[in-house]
Every structure is written in structure tokens, then in C-alpha cells.
Structure 1
Amino acid sequence: MADLFAAHAALLESAVAAARGRGFWAAFPENPKAYPEGAAAEAKAAFAALKDHPFELAAGDAAPLIGTEVSPFGPALGITYRARAVDDLIARAEGAGAAWAAASIARRTGIALEILVRLNTASFLIAETVEHTTGQAGPMAFQAGGPHAQDRGLEAVAYAYEEMSRVPGAVLWEKPMGRSAIRLDKDFHVVPRGIGLVIGCATFPTWNSYPALFADLVTGNAVIVKPHPAAILPLALTVRIAREVLAEEGFDPDVIQLAPDTSEAPIAKELATDPAVGIVDFTGSSQFGGWLRANVKDKLVFTEEAGVNTIVIASTGAFGPMCQNIAFSLSLYSGQMCTAPQVIFVPAGGIETEAGHKSFDEVAGGIASAIDALLSEPARAAAVLGAIQNPATLARIEEARSLGRIVRDSAALQVEGARTATPLLLAVDAADEAAYLEERFGPIAFLVAVADAADGVARAARAAREKGAITAALYSTDDTEIARAVPAYARAGVALSVNLTGGIYVNQSAAFSDYHVSGANPAGNACLTDAAFVAGRFRVVCVRRPAAA
């Protein structure tokens, strides 16, 4: 067995330093050209070979097969997965978890780092699986599903390693007692919290799951990965690679297991409430997130749920670039990102720009025109929009058309077999809160006429506090106005982007720098990733005895 901790020590050291510094750093290249020539073609062939076959994780497995994944770009994948009963999954995790918990922190960390490196090698294949389960376009599927997700997993490893390393292994404790002293040998043991359950989502199965998956593994917990029924394959491939590394290092591969289910027969509640499960991580709807928080009170529960992300346009010195930036944010992956903006507050009397005063309708028209220009070339439109993951989103767009004045209507791209939709823009008054203050997942956005910029900021902050928000944006040329707004957003627990133009967008979140989700409003009760995200996944137990004379 290799000394994987030593082999990856430089990677870990750089990750720990990056997490402390919060500047730009990426362990895994996001540019496909940085990978071996021919890797993309090999991945397409490997993905084609997976289709219409059982996806096996263990030889001779006779568990029932399930699986009904359909690509948002058209065809059914035809891939099935072994579905074990909950009690079997739990028993296997408990059996495998004992040796894993007993392994040293360095050993577990080295294995986790090796898994990440191998996942990176498989980035093109992972991208294929993400693209054809989530509907992300190829470039996003590669970056978000591969290197960016791997960076998020590495970030969790770095935080977990640092937190566990604060605990000394053994100390000599001496308490002076006049002419004598009490002397004790104390050993401190890092012990896992319990089985970690990671419940994946349909839109970002790897990016949203890797922080929890790797935080659980490194802190000594066996892991059960419960993917969304519509996006099993990316996490199945992840689990396969992890199991291969574990087996090579002499551990029972059931330290990590896949727990697929169907929409008709879900198992997440049964898993989450099993006494052996100590940690539950969930990304998805507020309905199920609320159920977890209400019913799973004796465990560590981390959720990322729904929210209403906002933009306030007070003024701008770059009207065209601002509109283009907002247009891209609204269009990227057809608005199916937890960070995508939904509500744009604009003063009813208009705004001041470098090109003079712009009325509310001119601001709305500028954004609509920028979307049209962005999506005017079919290939570029397809690369930006991707496909609609869930058919229910198309129905949601249809229902939303009646909620306001249509500034820009949604339409499908001419991509055979794919579910597609361009952004729908609706103009509403500030009083129409029932329309715009409910999360409407997908390419749906509201331009809301407010009294003035201060009213817009107040409404945006209140929306974050009451409805939840992960991101917010503000455009203003007034430094005093910006300074007043910053504390309001901070108190609301929402990350604020100010005057973004060019190649950076409000819906982007950078590993090792941005704190994705604050845990300070209803959009989620935890941050991915910080020390609090990892520290509760283990406990410290002391063993003491009289010191040797």
C-alpha cells in the first residue's frame, strides 16, 4: 500500500493555505486543453459503453436493478443500478466503518486526496454523465461537474484535516499540588459522528455533494450516497472510483455505498431517520429540507434549500456591459442554478447612466435586448442555456406568464429532442410580492418597480431574511449608497456582488475563496465550506491514566 498522505502532501498543503488566504487558487484545471489529448473522445466512448447496461459496483451483486434516467437532450440512458434495502446498506456501512474510523487521520486524508486525483483524471467521463443527466451544456458540465466540484471536495478535505489536526494525540498532564504533582497520560481520540448520508440533487450532483462526501470520509464516517433518481450516474461513477481506491488500500469498499431509489419508492426519509446515521447532508427543495429539520433532530443536518436571489439597479456607469452581465446570469444553464438571480429591483422613475437617464422600461428593454443578442447565434445559445432538467420547469414557465407584463417571452431552441427554454422576463409592481417572492426555479425573472434604490435594497435584504437567498447583486455609482447597503445584505446573510461587468457573474462561486451559502438565512443552514461544516462530523474522546513513574 502506498503512502498516499506523503504522495499528496504538497496538494494538501496548498489547499490548506488557499482556504486560509481566500485568494484565487485551483488545484484542478478547468480548461479542457490542460488534459491529455484524446481524453474527451475516450470519455465519449466510455459513456456510450455505459448506456443500456447495469452499472455494477461489486462482482456477483444480485440486488434488484432500478434506474430510469433520461437525458434532457432526448434519449433514455438505459442504465440500471443495484438497489439495496436500507437495513442492508446500514449493516454494510457499520461493518466497513469500524476499520475506517480506526485509521489514522493521515491515512484517511491521503486516501481522500487520491480519490480526488482519480476523479480529476476521469473529468471528461464525469462531464458526459453530468451533461446527460442534468442538462448542463458540455462546457459547464465539464467545469462544474468535474474540476470545480473536485476543488470543492478538496476544500472540505483541507478544512477537515486542519480541524482534526488541532487535536493532540497524546499529552502528559501535570497539576502541581504543593510539593507533589498529579501526573496523567492523556490520549485524545478523534471519533466519527456516525454514518454520513449525502442526498444529491438533480442539477449539480457532484458540485453540491462532494463537500459533504469528502468531509464525512476524512472525519472517519462511512458514507451512503443517495443520488436524485434523475441524476444517479455522476455519483455512481464517483462512488465506483472511491471504492476502487479504498479496496486497493485494504479497506472494505462499503465504507462508501450508492443508494439509488426511484421517485415512486423513495428511501431518503428511511435512511435519514435510521439510528445509525449521524450526519445528513441535503440539497434540494425547501419542502424536504424543512421535513429534515423538523424530524431529524438527533443528528447533524446540513441543508441547502430554495431562495430568491435579487439584483438592485440603482445607477450604473456602464449600462450596456451591465445589461450583458445580467443577461448572461439569467441565461446560464437556463436559470437552473441555486445562485441564479430571479428578482431585479429597478426604481419606477428609472436610473442614471453614463448615457443619461434610462426609464424603467428602457432598463427592462436593455436587459431583454442583451438576452436576445446573447442567444442570437444558435450554437452559442445552446452552449449557454443547456437543457431543462425537469419537465415541470416548462410547466412552471407557462404558469408564470400570467404573473406580470411580459417584457421578453420564453421560447424553445430548435434542438431536436432536447427540452429547452430561453429566459422569461416579467414586469411587476413592488406590491405583487406573491408573484416575485416565491422561488420559481428555471429561466423566470421579474423586473420589479420600486420607489427608489433604498426601497429596492430594503426589499432585497428582507427577501433574503424571510425567503432565503444565496446571492445578491447591486449596481450603483454612489459609494455612500453602496456603503449603506453592505451591512443590510450582511445582516441578511447573503453574499453581495457590486457592479459586476465583464467575465465574472453573480451566479459563480469560487472554491477556496467564496463561502457558498452563509447558513444565516432560509436558503440553507450551513456554509459549503467552512470550519463549522466539518467540525461537527467528528468528536474527541479522552482516555487518561496515571503517568508512568
Structure 2
Amino acid sequence: MVATQQQEDPHIWRDLIARHRQTLDNALESVRTRVNWSPYSEDYRTYGKSGKNGGAGDEGETQFRRLLGRPWDVAQPGRDGTVGPGPDAGGERSPYGPELGISYPHSDPDALLPAMTAAIPAWRDAGPEVRAAVCVEILHRINMRSPEFTYAAMHTSGHNPVMAFHAGAVHAQDRGLEAVAHAYAEQTRLPAAFRWRKPLGDGTAINLDKTFTAVPLGIALVVAGSVFPAWNSYAGLFASLATGNAVLVKPHPAAVLPLALTVSVAREALGDAGFAPDLVCLAAEHPGERLAASLATRPEIRIVDYAGGRDFGDWLTGNARQARVHTATSAVNTLLVESTADYRDMLANLAFSVSLYSGQLCTSPQNVLIPRAGIATDEGHKTYDQVVDDLGAALGDLLADDAAAAAVLGALLGPAVLARVERAMSGALGKVAAPTRAVRHPEHPDAVIRTPVLVRLDAARPADRATLLSEWLGPVVFAVAVGSPAEGIDLMAHTNRTCGALSVGVYTRSRDVEEAAEKACLDTGVMLSVNLMGNWYISQSAVYSDLHGTALNPAANSVHCDAAFVAGRFRFVGVRRYGGAA
């Protein structure tokens, strides 16, 4: 690891650097080579006895239930009231049924932001290596509480147990560490200190002693969504913190707990390392307060990271002009079925992909394009209708049992998602090929869970085309008839450009079709997955290896995670000292 400008580190800093040096070095190597690696185990038994449906165990549930019905104690500056509990007061309600009953402190920004600004200089002066070590320590402490974070994700975002453990815990932690590694690499590209020597031609030389210090922009605001509050927020949070900024976390009102836990752990670790805990603070909001909008335009806020709907993302980009704004917004993901060498495996893979978390993933395929003339398979030619019917049958087989279905699906996030499902079921959009059904959760009977509804559309009909060019977040899937593979690829590219996309898939035995799809994705800036089978799915993203988003289409203006994602969060400032002539 490259030495920093620190000359005499406090003992705790040296201990933290030594403790986490290997993890950081491994992360640096992984983001360089893109190999498979993670310090955070995906084995539930690592964190204690696994629970029902393969999720976190009894200990996590016990820890989670201890949080319910109590005030959240965060001693940050400017407290002027309380948010929640109860829906009328901005409290959270689990998609699986019960209200959480947790109240959170509300802070006056006029008192909170100056305290956060005052905490930055000591954090800046500690240098990249110390900051990286402290950030890895925060993530380590979060990782040790993964079962608790799993239950928090389940009961705010409606994840099934496995999804909650992955996206709400270990894979979110991976995203944070990935950002720390990129941040460290970019901050150490210049030497912290060196002597510059310029010969004068007369046998003497001028010597200048130079230092380069990574200087943060100021306060970063993280505006989180309700779908994946940890997974979507950790990249920005840790990229900003590792580059010396303070971070104010503004959670979605329906999913405060995962980020409140995060803020508490971060504040504790920062304090233990000798830094002001106010480097990381929570911004809970009252109903109707529109706190994200008012905070994002304040002069103290120099960075904004946002995940959510496109309208507000566009508003932030247009109005938070004093800040660098990173957005991840709506996406319409397309999958083209042209031919396959394993028809049954393809159907099983596709059925699982559209079912996982009830289609509420930002990478879930929505539009399945199928040539009207049908496709070639290892079972012979299949017509468009046969492919659609067989996909419906695969969904039925996968989700036939309520307990098994509940383990794959997730609770719907809210009434808007259910309304989309019911509209699709009504036949108003197109002919229903496979109906949705209600799933009864064996432990949470109040949970609203629906299997995907599969609807036939035809790209040649203007009304159908308008439908498929809109985002239908939730368990709504369109089987779209196209005139030819080439027409399907053109539609895919048009969707990417106009709607934005995070993931595109193709099933084909034709090299020409594969190359055409690849060119379309390169031209429109979307990750392409080709002929995925078995238990790897189009909606999955491998941290340290895959890039989430490209900033080349409307779905996102930044990438999780690359050098550009972190480099704009700080600037180098040089100091030159005359070292004499010799």
C-alpha cells in the first residue's frame, strides 16, 4: 500500500491499518483484475444458525425485534423533534404486515450541517490510508451484524430472506468496500510527498519539496430509495466518506431502519477511531416535508447520490447545481429470445429471473421479445404462442407451492405496485397469458404477495408499444411479438436509449444475432448477458467484477463502481516549499 502524508499516526490508526490492510489490498486487486472475491461470507452459518427459507437465523430476528416499538437513539446535533412512529407521523410499516413502531430523531439542518462541516478537517488531514482503514472497520462491524440487517431489509423493503441477506447485507457491504478501494486508488495516484529537482545547467539545481493532499468537496447527501436502501446507497456513502467528505443520509420514509443502523455503526466506529461521529448523520423527515429537495439545494451540500424515480432524479440534476449529482433511476430491461440450445433450462432461468423479488429489482427483465415466426430450439421449432405458454407453465411450476413461492417472491412494496398488477390482469394492456395469483406467506399472512402476470403484446401495435416503453416495476412481464430478430434488436436499442436500461439479455444460437445484440448494447450503453442458464440470472450483478450502470443511457448518470464515480468527490491541492539550490 502507498504511504500517506501521515508522519505520526495515533496508535489506534496503526492498529486499524494493520488489521484491515489485507482486506483493502485484496479489494484493490479484485477491482483491478475483476476476479471473484469477497471478504463477506455468503454462508449464513458464518453469522450463526440459519433461519427459515435459508435466511438469517434466530439471533438476527431477536436483534431486530429488540428495535421495534422504541425510539432510535442517535445523539447528533440539532435535534428538534421526532419522526414516527405510526404512518401519520412518517413511521415505517413492514410489507409483511406489522408497523415497526420506531421513532427517529429529526434534526434542524441549520444546526446539523455546520457540525458536520466542522468535522471534516481532521478527517481530511488523516489521509487516504487512515480513512480507508476506518471505512473498512465500519463495514466489518456492519458485516458482523448481517442477520440484523437482513431482517431490517425484509421488513422495510419486502425482500424474501435470501434476497434480504444478499442485497440488504453482504452484497451491499461488498458495494461499500468496492467504493473504498476505488477511492483509495484514486487518492494515491499522486505521491503524498516528494522532492522535486530541476537542474539549472550550471551544475546546480533548484529543489522544491512538494505535497499533494486529497481535499474533499464538503458534505455529501445520500438520498435513498425504498427498494434497496443499503445496496443502492453504500457505494455513494463510502465513496464520499473515504475521500474525506462528511455524509448525510436521507432514507426513504418507508425504509429508514437499514440506514439508521448503518449510520449508528458508522458513528460508533468513527468515534472509536478518534474522529467526530458527526461525519455521518441521519436525516429522517416528517410526512410531506420534502427534505431531500430542501437539503439537496443548500450550499453546504456538494455531492448528491440518489436512487429512485426519474422525475426527482431529473429535478436534482437541474436544481442542485452547486453539487455533483449521481443518479440511478428508472429502467426498462429487455430480453430477446431468438433461439436456444436448451429450451427447458432457458425457460426455468427466465421464469426465476422475472419472479425474483416479484420483479421489483432494477435489473429485472420486463419485456421478453419473441419473433412472431417462433424460435429454433433443441426440441424443434416453437411458435410464439408455444414459447409464451411454456413460459407461463414454467412460472406455474416454479411458484406452485405457497411456501416455495414466498421464498422466491417478495412482498409488494405498496399499493402502487399492486395497482399495476391488477391493471395488467384486467386485460386493459393486452391478453393475459399467465394470470397472477395471491400467495399466502406461511408466517406473515398480512403480506401482499403476487406471482407475475404474463401479458401478450405485439410491437406492431402502437398502444402495445407505448405500454412496453414504460416501466412497470413489480410482477408484470410482457411477452412481446416482434417481426424478426433484427426488429427485436432495434426495439431493444430504442428502449435503451429512450427509457434507460441496466440489463439486457439474449438467447441465441446465431453468432450474427449475438454480435448484433452486442453492438446495440455497446451503442446504447447497457450490460448484455448471453445465454444465461443454470443458477446465474440476468438480474444478478457480481460486485468487484460487473459494473452496475454505464452512465450512457437514461437509467443512470454514474457507475457502481468505477474511477469516475469516486474521482469527482475530491480534488488535489499541492503545496511547494523551497528546498534550496544545490
Name the TM-score, length of structure 2 as normaliser.
0.92
Q: Which residue of structure 2 aligns with residue 504 of structure 1?
A: 536
2:210 and 2:76 map into 1 onto residues whose CA distance is: 45
Q: Which residue of structure 2 aligns with residue 23 of structure 1?
A: 35
Q: By how many angstroms is 1:60 displaced?
A: 10
Tell me if the contact between 1:15 and 1:155 (Cα under 8 Å) persists in the aligned partners: yes
Query: 1:53 and 2:70 equivalent?
Result: yes
Counterpart AA for 1:316: T
Counterpart AA for 1:5: I
Q: Which residue of structure 1 aligns with residue 7 of structure 2?
A: none
Q: Write out aligned runs for 1:295-334 (5 A).
A: 295-334=319-358
Pick closer, same or farther for the CA change 1:187–1:51 going to 2, 3 Å.
Answer: same
2:322 and 2:217 map into 1 onto residues whose CA distance is: 11
Q: Which residue of structure 2 aligns with residue 408 of structure 1?
A: 434
1:196 and 1:61 map into 2 onto residues whose CA distance is: 18
1:313-367 CA deviation, whole Å, 9 max, x = no partner?
0011111111111110110000000000000111011111111111111111111
Q: By how many angstroms is 1:135 displaced?
A: 0.3
Q: Which residue of structure 2 aligns with residue 232 of structure 1?
A: 256
Q: Which residue of structure 1 aligns with residue 5 of structure 2?
A: none
Tell me if the contact between 1:351 and 1:358 (Cα under 8 Å) persists in the aligned partners: yes
Structure 1 runs not aligned, ≥5 long: none
Tell me if the contact between 1:343 and 1:445 (Cα under 8 Å) persists in the aligned partners: yes
2:327 and 2:383 map into 1 onto residues whose CA distance is: 40
Q: By how many angstroms is 1:62 displaced?
A: 5.3
Tell me if the contact between 1:391 and 1:419 (Cα under 8 Å) persists in the aligned partners: no
Q: Among residues 371, 391, 401, which one is paired with 2:415 in the alignment?
A: 391
Counterpart AA for 1:352: A
Q: Which residue of structure 2 aligns with residue 288 of structure 1?
A: 312
Counterpart AA for 1:394: L
Give the match's secondary structure for 2:330: coil
Q: Write out aligned runs for 1:122-133 (5 A).
A: 122-133=145-156
Instruction: Tell me whether 305-314 or 458-467 shows the greater mean CA deviation.
Output: 458-467
2:397 and 2:114 map into 1 onto residues whose CA distance is: 56
Q: Among residues 104, 119, 133, which one is paired with 1:110 in the alignment?
A: 133
Q: Among residues 60, 78, 83, which one is paired with 1:43 in the alignment?
A: 60
Counterpart AA for 2:448: R
Q: Which residue of structure 1 aligns with residue 104 of structure 2?
A: 81
Q: Which residue of structure 2 aligns with residue 364 of structure 1?
A: 388
2:397 and 2:453 map into 1 onto residues whose CA distance is: 15
Query: 1:419 and 2:445 equivalent?
Result: no
Q: Which residue of structure 2 aligns with residue 11 of structure 1?
A: 23
1:438 and 1:263 map into 2 onto residues whose CA distance is: 28
Tell me if the contact between 1:160 and 1:219 (Cα under 8 Å) persists in the aligned partners: yes
Q: Among residues 97, 101, 107, which one is paired with 2:120 in the alignment?
A: 97
Q: By how many angstroms is 1:31 displaced?
A: 1.6
1:214-233 CA deviation, whole Å, 9 max, x = no partner?
11111000000000000000
Q: Which residue of structure 1 aligns with residue 237 of structure 2?
A: 213
1:155 and 1:350 map into 2 onto residues whose CA distance is: 43
Q: By how many angstroms is 1:545 displaced?
A: 2.6
Q: By how many angstroms is 1:37 displaced?
A: 4.3
Tell me if the contact between 2:76 and 2:112 (Cα under 8 Å) persists in the aligned partners: no
Q: Write out aligned runs for 1:130-529 (5 A).
A: 130-179=153-202, 180-401=204-425, 402-415=428-441, 416-431=445-460, 432-529=464-561
Identity of aligned residues (%): 45
2:239 and 2:37 map into 1 onto residues whose CA distance is: 20
Q: By how many angstroms is 1:181 displaced?
A: 3.6
Tell me if the contact between 2:493 and 2:524 (Cα under 8 Å) persists in the aligned partners: yes
Instruction: Tell me whether 515-524 or 180-189 shows the greater mean CA deviation.
Output: 180-189
Instruction: Tell me whether 97-106 or 3-12 shows the greater mean CA deviation.
Output: 97-106
1:430-462 CA deviation, whole Å, 9 max, x = no partner?
032111110111111111111111111111012
Name the TM-score, length of structure 1 as normaliser.
0.98
Q: By how many angstroms is 1:471 displaced?
A: 0.1
How many residue pairs get aligned? The number is 549
Instruction: Tell me whether 108-117 or 415-424 shows the greater mean CA deviation.
Output: 415-424
Tell me if the contact between 1:61 and 1:82 (Cα under 8 Å) persists in the aligned partners: no
Q: By how many angstroms is 1:389 displaced?
A: 1.3
Give the match's secondary structure for 1:325: helix
1:447 and 1:255 map into 2 onto residues whose CA distance is: 49
Q: By how many angstroms is 1:394 displaced?
A: 0.5
Q: By how many angstroms is 1:400 displaced?
A: 3.0
Tell me if the contact between 2:237 and 2:247 (Cα under 8 Å) persists in the aligned partners: yes
Tell me if the contact between 2:78 and 2:109 (Cα under 8 Å) persists in the aligned partners: no
Give the match's secondary structure for 1:407: strand
2:409 and 2:357 map into 1 onto residues whose CA distance is: 4
Counterpart AA for 1:409: P
Pick closer, same or farther for the CA change 1:287–1:59 going to 2, 3 Å.
Answer: closer
2:414 and 2:436 map into 1 onto residues whose CA distance is: 16
Q: Which residue of structure 1 aligns with residue 6 of structure 2?
A: none
Give the match's secondary structure for 2:107: coil
Counterpart AA for 2:132: T
Pick closer, same or farther for the CA change 1:20–1:387 going to 2, 3 Å.
Answer: same
